[in-house]
Chain A
Amino acid sequence: MSSNYQAKIDGLENVARHIRRNVWRALHGAGSGHMGGSSSAADILAALYFHHLNLRPDDPDWSDRDRFVLSKGHANAALGATLAQAGYIDDSVLDQFYAYQSSFGMHPDIKMAGVEMSTGGLGHGLSVGIGMALGARMQAKDFRTCVMIGDGELQEGSNWEGAMAAAHLGLSNLTVILDYNKIQQSGHVGQMLDLEPVLDKWAAFGWAVREIDGHNMSAVVEALDALPFAAAAPSLIIAHTIKGKGVSFAEDSFLWHNNAVTDEVYEQALSELGEPS
């Protein structure tokens, strides 16, 4: 492994630490929020925005940009933190989470620079991503579309309409990343409405699927670098993650799907996450 590569991985891990700290900062400012699913997605978002996606943050409407849709819109704190880190929005916006007339609400708003679609109602992002991938194909453009979905979200039937269509249409320019943190609002996904065998289901629908540890930055980067996984099929990355990753008391707990963030909790979280370099 070259030192350059290791420096890249270290740098992305540092970005992820920034994102997680800013998620807690936004939630602390707002008083509460979706900490669990924002933190589970942080490493993947860092790799997407600082390694994989072809973007121009100073020209957010650049027509050939890669598209990213956060279908699990309740993780918007993480998306906002990522967009601020990438330079789409001013850092001060992170202190406006849930604020009066803010562009930074609980869920992504297409009016914010860098946000490709207003999301929040679950089970929408995949179909929207299919439309974007078709838009690329029909206009002979090379941009790629990536959609991040949540595990609980996969209980929405519309995803399966989209899964069927994307494979039927052979959209190799479309990637879905499943943030599989195993927990939804009221409990463990496996107990609420189990997705398993989720890999087999998507493979049976015609997707090219890989499974990774969504907190192992090397594994995330290697999977993104290997896209598309097949020449004429859409790709799915099943990223096994931990809800609330990075802060001991919030990890793997449905209580932290959406919870209050007091001063004390905030200080403790920052202390556990550590200072970024």
Chain B
Amino acid sequence: MTSTTDKAGQPKSETPEWEIKAAKQSRLAFGLAVAELARRDEKVAAISADTIDLFGLRPFLEASPERLIEAGIAEQNAMGIAAGMATTGMRPIICGYAPFITTRSLEQLRNDVAYANQRVVIGAACGGIVLAMAGGTHHAVEDLAIMRNMPNMTVIVPADARQTWHAAMATEQLDGPCYIRLGGKFDEPDVTELDADFRIGRADQLRNGDDITVIACGALVAPAVATSQALAHDGIGVRVLNMHTIKPLDRDAVLAAAVETGAIVTAEEHRVTGGLGGAVAELLATEQPTPMRMIGMPDEFAIVGPTAQVREHYAMGEGAITDACRDLMR
């Protein structure tokens, strides 16, 4: 962190307040962005499903109690409320747990939000197996497949807390519903620059390379970068695309990678069916058939345990990504 002085000669931090307060946790970065969006636009309101502290919304609640609706542990009602509110010109942002705000309120999400095409932003904390110790009821490893099958829906998986802030801010410009998958109560490594340009639907190329491409999202972006760095020592150029937007998919980036590198590995904390890997495979199968490997959860409910170990158990990490690259390069 560097410091300069402002016009009055006072020391001034270049690190924005949100970066400090987010503490490298995307759920908190999202909550801070909610407060900032509400500050900028009086039509923005937050809807909590008993998730005020999960999203760090207590300061916002204290400052603007009329702008936060507590729906209680009642996701169906929360989702319907958001849709109805949006029809009146409000900009509701639901803050929910990924496993519950997707499947418990799925029909409201499909009918009231997606079918009626309302401007509702859904922040979904504890995506993937962030709550691995909590068991299968609390895992969300099918959420991207479900959301990607909703017409009108934009689906975003930020790679870190910083990107979460920028992604949440970018929803200001959206004219339809948006699902943003977030992490849990532990730090996520920074993989994007603090002030990196973020555009919905445009992948970030984090590492250049012409031998193979890893297309990753969320928690698997950092391991993908690590794979690229490791294989560079062996003279293998691994391109890394941070595919933060699952839908609309950055078709150009995927097709360019397929043409230019000839092999693709996808990596996501999600079942390999229907999510990022599925989206990439569907595109390549029809437009540019390309050898692929897909890193992610198999067709089963995950075991219980510490998140890092459960990720390892299902080979969702650097080792598996590296092995998949080597396998494809053979």
Contacts and interface: CB of A to CB of B under 8 A. Distances in A.
Interface of A: 63, 67, 69, 110, 116-121, 123-124, 126-136, 138-139, 141, 145, 157-158, 161-162, 164-165, 169
Contacts of A134: 45, 69, 81, 84-85, 90
Contacts of B58: none
B108 interface: yes
Contacts of B86: 131, 135
B87 A135 contact: yes
A158 B108 contact: yes
B43 interface: yes
A44 to B, nearest CB: 21
24 contacts: A67-B88, A117-B84, A118-B111, A121-B111, A124-B80, A127-B76, A127-B77, A127-B108, A128-B112, A130-B77, A131-B81, A131-B82, A131-B85, A132-B84, A134-B69, A134-B85, A135-B86, A135-B90, A138-B45, A139-B43, A145-B84, A157-B76, A161-B74, A169-B69
Nearest to B110: A121
Nearest to A147: B84
Given A110-B87, A117-B84, 13 more contacts: A67-B87, A110-B116, A127-B79, A131-B80, A131-B82, A134-B45, A135-B85, A135-B88, A138-B85, A145-B84, A162-B77, A164-B74, A165-B74
Contacts of B116: 110, 117-118
B186 interface: no
B111 A120 contact: yes
Contact of B80 (A67, A141, A162): A162
Chain B interface category by residue count: 20 to 34
Please name the 10 residue pairs, one residue from A and one from B, whose CB atoms are nearest each other, closest first. Answer: A131-B84, A127-B80, A135-B88, A128-B84, A131-B85, A161-B77, A131-B81, A161-B74, A158-B76, A132-B84
Contacts of A129: 84
A136 B81 CA distance: 12
A138 B67 contact: yes
